[in-house]
Amino acid sequence: MNKPKNQKGISKYIKLEDYKVFDYEIPEIFMDFVINKNAVNVTTKLKLVKKNKNTKNLILDGTDILIKKLFIDDSLIEKQYYKQQKNNLKIENIKKDIFLLKIEGIIKPKENTSLLGMYESNGIITTQCEAEGFRRISFHADRPDILSKYTVRIEADKNDYPVLLSNGNVLKENNLTNNRHEIIWEDPYPKPSYLFALVAGKLNCVKDNFITKSNKKVKINIYVEYGDEKYVQHAISSLKKSMKWDEDKYNLEYDLSLFNIVAIRHFNMGAMENKSLNIFNSKLILANSETTTDEELERIEGVIAHEYFHNWTGNRVTCRDWFQLSLKEGLTVFRDQQFTADVHNSEIKRLDDAKFLRRNQFREDSGPTSHPVMPEKYQEIDNFYTTTIYEKGSEIIRMLNKLVKDENFYKGFSNYISTYDGKAATIDQFVDKILEHNKEIDPKKFKIWYKQNGTPKVKFKRIWDQTDEKLTIEASQSNPIKKNLYNDLPLIIPINLAIFCDENKTIEKTVVLKTKKQEFVFRNIRSHLQIPLVTYFREFSSPVEWESDTTFEEKFLILRYEKDFFTLSNTVKVFYKKIILCRLDEKPDHKIENKFISTLISFIKNRDINLSLLSELLSIPTFAEIESEMENLDPLKIYKTIDELNHLFGTKLKEELYFKLQEIETSLDKVWPEGKNERKLIETIWKLLLHSDDEEIKSKIINYVDSNSMTLAKAALNSFSRINCPERKIISNIFFNKWKNNSVVLDSWFSFNASIEIDEKTNSIEKLFENTYFDSKSPNTLRAILNTFVTRNSTFHAIDGSGYKYIAKKIIDFDKLNPIVISRFIKVFSRYNYYSEPYKSNMLETIKQIKKNKLSTNTKEVLDAIIE
Ligand code: PHE
Ligand code: ZN
């Protein structure tokens, strides 16, 4: 394979195999920030200790920093002894082994639109250092294996920047002349530069506290923009729940007496785990049930937990290099998923996580940007904050937990923490610790999970010997992607299965597939069925796809016998898909459709069924779900078929749905988490009924747009998304007028409008960008519009290619402002190969056109992968 080269002929890729320890250690850093009107003066003193005695040079990372002066131990370094290049600083001929390097630099946060390094958001100065943002603030060996103790002085005008925050504890606070003030922060725990943070601005603080299990009082401060104080109670209670849970489950206690969270309006990602100063996207802090849906409340709770859990998995034990990113992210996702499962419903949580993984990670893994959980090379590490690193990484740990059993898992985990505390570790070391006292699993073989890409496929066949009462299950595994040599090696795959002998007799087992082909034999199986029925990967026990010899007749039986939420929802999904595929082929299978509808009716009538599960079972797949799994796609036809099915099911299930509606209506007012299942189901029911041309339901739903439950308000709004009627405009206006001054909520309105197909052209979408309330610096709003338009609005796929061209223009424009957001968004084109003509050619042409422009390296790397 030809590797891309830059002009000098050096490979652009950073490779895992090239890892080398840095020539110096930097045990201490002193930073001094003087915040002025248009710039920030940053003076950094690095204490350097030479490790590699053979070197006389020092190369530090640094981008877009104006250097004023450099000193070594207080003596000025003359210009001829250092060289500043675009992304680094090289100092030559250093004779000392231990010295203090002082760098005086100037940066301009106000001019920074990338939301990386130090930037301004609504007048607040803030930082984002992960992964490589620190080098835009000051020169440093900006890599996660350099751990230093930070002392930070911040000085600024008292009126403009009354609040000055950084990591750790406050050492000193002083008033200075000229209405200025200073504060000194000291973080006692050595940390890599990506965990550094600074915030300065007009913020209000909501205070609370938490008493740890060893009776230490931790002050909790949540900082928000003026006026937002009333929206932080949910964040505070989520944080306290997380702190308690980590003590109970993992025996991990918070290690400082202060924990700060800041909510920032302009933030690329969800949130960031900077040591003791977590910075959040406002939409993941500001919440109450009037402004936030149930799902969002749960997500916020989960993200707050996630960032808090990083304090041990990520901060105290950090990553050696960015190839180990999943060491902190996969593990922390695993922990936050466990947390949500423990505090809510574990079966529903498992169902949600499996659904998320299959929809997003499987899509990524079958496309051009597919990569192993431990990638072997990258150009821009920012492009690797993916669902593979996060969610597949978590699935691997879930399997590990399952394979070694809880007792060993938690013992191994504690050993891992105590061995690597204060250090930078690798994924290998983590797996070794968990498997240390286990003889059955070969660590080397298990680790192949980290090196393979692509979704593994498992095949099953049953062989039934009635006379001997013996059931044999033949299993085999393979990986569809051949390019990666590791993909040819067998994985260790835990399979949860159930054997149904009849309605009342089920055998549940976990078997472990370790080789390419393997037989599992079950004896003394007494079954009345023609052949015992088997369900595989219950609870989604491994992140794989599978195929079996189960017939559709048997699948109907599964829907009767199974109790596992995941298997039920997966089986239902198989039916939906089958029905959709037949219809796309213009050969509707009415027999299956009718039988399936009767099955759904019996689910609706079952009064014991979990209502979230029921909502899941009644949800006809969306375009995005179908898109991620099909080949030779005709997008407009898919949209049409899905609409047809909603109409059909809404009509056929009407009576039962109305009945259910009545039954649950009385629970809608309950306070989250109470009532959430009912509210989830109601959106599904409304949507189906609206699609059945039910006029009566319309006026009923409209009443909810103004509801004091955001879940119901948005459910009302969204259920109208694909219903072309005058009421749709009415409800959109009600929502807009109510929420136009709340930017977090208003993003839902932008999203809703981006889903509406008013005409065949993109004019109506352009109007959203022209709206006075559109803020071009807000990644949230940009994503709300762009993502919804491409996944829920068929205009994107206009047959003349105008939708693609329109989006291309947006990509080119916004890439100049914010490469991180655009390089992620551009993956919308990654499956062009799976589309039919003319869509495929139109998309390809568009991608080529985009490529002709001057793009960020982030976006370029993704585009290069899409069209090699
Ligand atoms: N580390 C953050 C998290 O998962 C995500 C993030 C990455 C945020 C890069 C900002 C920049 O929790
Ligand atoms: Zn994380």
Helix (H) or strand (E) holding 309: helix 294-309
Index of the ligand 1 atom closest to the CA of residue 390: 4
* CA–CA distance, 70 with 78 (Å, rounded to integer): 8
Q: Are residues 252 and 271 in the same domain?
A: yes
Report the amino acid identity of residue 299: R
CA of 552 to the centre of ligand 2 (A): 41
* CA–CA distance, 151 with 183 (Å, rounded to integer): 11
Index of the ligand 1 atom closest to the CA of residue 307: 12
Index of the ligand 1 atom closest to the CA of residue 271: 8
Residue nearest to atom 8 of ligand 1 (CA): 272
State the ligand closest to the CA atom of 779: 1
CATH number for the domain spanning 603: value is 1.25.50.10
pLDDT for residue 771 is more than 90: yes
The pLDDT assigned to 762 comes to: 81
pLDDT for residue 286 is more than 50: yes
Indicate whether 765 belongs to any domain: no
Indicate whether 68 belongs to any domain: yes
CA of 228 to the centre of ligand 2 (A): 25
pLDDT for residue 7 is more than 70: no
Cα–Cα separations (whole angstroms), residue 67 to 37, 42, 104, 111, 153: 19, 10, 6, 17, 19
The pLDDT assigned to 660 comes to: 98
Give per-residue pLDDT as tens, 389-440.
999 999 999 999 999 999 999 999 999 999 999 999 999 999 999 999 999 9
130, 333, 824: which to mutate for ligand 1, most atoms within 8 A of CB?
A: 130
DSSP, collapsed to helix, strand or coil, labels residue 223 as: strand
The last residue of one of the domains, among 549, 580, 599, is: 549
What's the length of the chain? 868
Indicate whether 798 belongs to any domain: no
pLDDT for residue 645 is more than 80: yes
Q: Are residues 92 and 203 in the same domain?
A: yes
Residue nearest to atom 12 of ligand 1 (CA): 272
Give per-residue pLDDT as tens, 173-201.
999 999 999 999 999 999 999 999 999 99
Q: What is the DSSP string of 246-277?
A: HHHHH-----SSEEEEEEESS-SSSEE--TTE
Residue entry with tokens 């039954």: 663
Index of the ligand 1 atom closest to the CA of residue 385: 7
Index of the ligand 1 atom closest to the CA of residue 329: 4
Instruction: State the chain's mean pLDDT as an integer.
Output: 97
* 88-91 β-sheet, strand order: 58-61, 88-91, 82-84
Q: Are residues 218 and 364 in the same domain?
A: no
- Would you say 381 and 132 are in contact if contact means Cβ atoms under 8 Å apart? yes
State the ligand closest to the CA atom of 114: 1
pLDDT for residue 1 is more than 50: no
DSSP, collapsed to helix, strand or coil, labels residue 511 as: strand
The pLDDT assigned to 248 comes to: 98
Q: Are residues 247 and 367 in the same domain?
A: no
Q: Are residues 555 and 684 in the same domain?
A: yes
Index of the ligand 1 atom closest to the CA of residue 314: 1
* CA–CA distance, 856 with 581 (Å, rounded to integer): 39
Indicate whether 824 belongs to any domain: no
The pLDDT assigned to 11 comes to: 63
Q: Are residues 626 and 602 in the same domain?
A: yes
CA of 865 to the centre of ligand 2 (A): 25
State the ligand closest to the CA atom of 272: 1
State the ligand closest to the CA atom of 820: 1
CA of 781 to the centre of ligand 1 (A): 19
Residue nearest to atom 1 of ligand 1 (CA): 272
CA of 280 to the centre of ligand 1 (A): 10
Give per-residue pLDDT as tens, 802-853.
999 999 999 999 999 999 999 999 999 999 999 999 999 999 999 999 999 9
Residue entry with tokens 């980590």: 246
Q: Are residues 435 and 536 in the same domain?
A: no
Residue nearest to atom 9 of ligand 1 (CA): 130
- Would you say 461 and 548 are in contact if contact means Cβ atoms under 8 Å apart? yes
The last residue of one of the domains, among 411, 436, 451, is: 451
383, 385, 821: which to mutate for ligand 1, most atoms within 8 A of CB?
A: 385
CA of 306 to the centre of ligand 2 (A): 6
CA 137, 781, 325: angle at the middle one, nearest 5?
50
Indicate whether 19 belongs to any domain: no
How far is C-alpha 797 from the chain's CA centre? 26
CA of 127 to the centre of ligand 1 (A): 12
Give residues (CB < 6 A) around ligand 1: 128, 130-131, 269, 271-273, 306-307, 329, 385
What is the percentage of the chain residues whose pLDDT exceeds 70? 99
Give per-residue pLDDT as tens, 517-552.
999 999 999 998 999 999 999 999 999 999 999 999
- Would you say 382 and 389 are in contact if contact means Cβ atoms under 8 Å apart? no
Q: Are residues 257 and 347 in the same domain?
A: no
The pLDDT assigned to 583 comes to: 98
Residue nearest to atom 7 of ligand 1 (CA): 130
CA of 423 to the centre of ligand 2 (A): 18
Residue nearest to atom 5 of ligand 1 (CA): 272
CATH number for the domain spanning 326: value is 1.10.390.10
First CA to last CA distance, the chain: 11
Q: Are residues 650 and 600 in the same domain?
A: yes
CA 115, 60, 142: angle at the middle one, nearest 5?
45
Q: Are residues 205 and 253 in the same domain?
A: yes
Q: Are residues 237 and 155 in the same domain?
A: yes
Index of the ligand 1 atom closest to the CA of residue 310: 12
Residue entry with tokens 């505390």: 421
The last residue of one of the domains, among 694, 725, 751, is: 694
Give per-residue pLDDT as tens, 9-56.
456 899 999 999 999 999 999 999 999 999 999 999 999 999 999 999
Helix (H) or strand (E) holding 242: helix 233-250
Among 366, 369, 341, which Cα is nearest to 353's? 341
The pLDDT assigned to 2 comes to: 44
* CA–CA distance, 38 with 856 (Å, rounded to integer): 26
Could you tell me the two tokens for 430?
């983590």
115, 267, 273: which to mutate for ligand 1, most atoms within 8 A of CB?
A: 273
Give per-residue pLDDT as tens, 482-522.
999 999 999 999 999 999 998 888 999 999 999 999 999 99
Among 678, 700, 697, 699, which Cα is nearest to 688's? 697
The Cβ of residue 656 has, within 10 Å, a number of other Cβ atoms equal to 17
Judge if ipTM > 0.85. Answer: yes
Report the amino acid identity of residue 657: L
Helix (H) or strand (E) holding 598: helix 590-605
CATH number for the domain spanning 523: value is 2.60.40.1840
Among 857, 844, 859, which Cα is nearest to 810's? 859
pLDDT for residue 3 is more than 70: no
pLDDT for residue 361 is more than 80: yes
Among 1, 56, 2, which Cα is nearest to 24's? 56
Average pLDDT over residues 235-246: 98
pLDDT class for 8, splitting at 50, 70, 90?
very low
The pLDDT assigned to 12 comes to: 84
Indicate whether 843 belongs to any domain: no
Could you tell me the two tokens for 64?
């877009």
The Cβ of residue 32 has, within 10 Å, a number of other Cβ atoms equal to 18
- The pTM assigned to this predicted structure is 0.98
Residue nearest to atom 2 of ligand 1 (CA): 272
Indicate whether 787 belongs to any domain: no
CA of 768 to the centre of ligand 2 (A): 32
Indicate whether 742 belongs to any domain: no
Q: How many domains does the chain have?
A: 4
Catalytic residues: 307
346-381: burial string, b at 16+ Cβ within 10 Å, e else: ebbbbbbbbbebbbbbbbbbbbbbbbbbbbeebbbb
Left (φ > 0), alpha (ψ -120 to 50) or beta: where does 93 sit?
Answer: left
634: containing domain: 551-694
Q: Are residues 519 and 570 in the same domain?
A: no
* 198-201 β-sheet, strand order: 117-121, 124-128, 198-201, 163-166
Residue nearest to atom 11 of ligand 1 (CA): 130
Residue ranges of alpha helices (H) inside 517-564 are 552-561
